[in-house]
Structure 1
Amino acid sequence: MDASTPVSVVLPTTGWNDACEQVADQLRPDDELLVVCDEHRESVADCAEARDGVRSIVAGEPEGCSGKANAIAAGMEAAAAERIVWTDDDFFHPPDWLEGLRTDYDRRGPTSELPVFVGRDPLAAALEPSHAISGTLAVFLANVPWGGSLVFERADLDDEQRFLDELRRTVSDDGLLSEHVEFTTVERTRRVAIGGSTRETLENQARFVKIVRYHDPTGTAVQGVLAAALTVACALFPLPMLALTTLWTAAIYAAFGIRRWTFLAAYPVALAAIPLLAYGLARRTFVWGGRRYRWDGTFDVAVEPA
């Protein structure tokens, strides 16, 4: 297939917003945008009806999975095209975003962009160095897909129906996808705001840790060993490690075009690496998108209102 191949864009959201407008403006005549909500929302349905190629999809309440995974599954089942794009509504989609993913697929096959997480509260901002390393650098080096901006085709899945069934039994959509499709991650970033309050940032920390735990247990073990070594080094050699961690993080920021002062928090974040990992592993539940999840295994999820 080539860049003229029709694309179905699956966009889970809670309402019509700027991201919906931005993606709708980039559709070609044979493309479609599926705006997926948990329940019928008249404003979304009206806006979708007014735009060519846009459809409103009702996913229903999730049972035994996250709202995001449930929405992605519903969107893929409703999608008409062979080529699928997943995206989120929490970042700016420039006018060439969809064309970029088309070209990426034709050159590389399944392709993902990269997130840069920007904190909206003091704790989330302080943790930005950790996200730059684990959520941007590590994702890039390991070719891990990010569900906020990726493209693949149905034929890339080893078993599409099994994948959709598993989506409705887990929390992390992109974590599961990484087990079914091999991706290439390109060095193109999207700025995603996270947090908003200390509580929300702690909930995100628990969720991020559990995603790695259940979809990459080896990575969790490696992360633990490295975090322990880093914490000990920072405690024993504070001044050299202050300089080293700050310069190392500044280099990562520069490599990915992150223009934020928060690289200066690299040393205290390194000192807190083990407590942060332990906190995420110890939490029995976490809140995400207005729901509380108990995630006791890759396909063992209980969900209730927050």
Structure 2
Amino acid sequence: MSKEHNEEEYVEVKVKKSTLKYEKDLESLQIELLKFQNHVKAQGLKVLIILEGRDGAGKGGSIKRLTEHLNPRGCRTVALGKPNAVEQTQWYFQRYVNHLPSAGEIVIFDRSWYNRAGVEYVMGFCTPEQHEQFLREVPLFEHMIHKSGVMFFKIYLSVSKKQQQKRFKERLKNPLKQYKLSPVDQKSQELWGKYTIAKYSMLLASNTEACPWTIIDSNDKKKARLNLIRFILSKVEYPGKKEGKFSKIDKDLVRSGEAEIFKMEAEAGQNKDIENAENGNYEEEFNDATDTAQD
């Protein structure tokens, strides 16, 4: 065999410095996640992570980076589909309870019971009465989870309307991503204002002291993934924990649920999204959402 056939062929590839830094920081954070998982197993802890956000916010990619090096025997991702005929007759939270973590487990919900606060409400898959009932019950339900000893993280990935539109177009062009598009996704841009109102009422009702929301800007997917892991690790202790520049949260991209409520109220006051509300009366609907959430 000739020397030509024995030798490997190489190509020169240019990689951005920012990409190399991202990969290095991600690896460091994933190592810390493994340490945390070992601690969870050793101590019999129960960890629940809820990841919410609009369509195209980057939930799937974030969960992938969060879990890709964890031991699957101690980490589960839950992504429930449409409830079946039997589940539709049950108490709304019932089918989610079976998936809550046991001792030594980390469970991640890729969307959760908050479907009722968002897509179900906006798309008319539940009645206004069911939506209002959910907003009243969810703080009580989550308080019980918290009191049972579950370490509970509620994280909302926040994407802009322009960035969401860009990602939808990318999905249409990429055969490997087209499965992510659904009729509900295609309505997301048209109903942007409605989803904003739903998000606001959700935060007002469920951003509690025991189970607060954390908002992460996800217009830059890579930064969002890093900040997601950084935030979780910042709230836990475990043997051999290391910190450094790689673990520093970007405070410009991570904010509390309370800060997000104030931000949304300021934007509503400036009338930024009036043209996006389905009936053209965004400010009035925003006030109605406040009344509903506080009832």
TM-score between both structures, scaled by the size of structure 1: 0.26
Q: Which structure ranks higher in relative contact order (CA pairs < 8 Å, sequence separation ≥ 6)?
A: 2
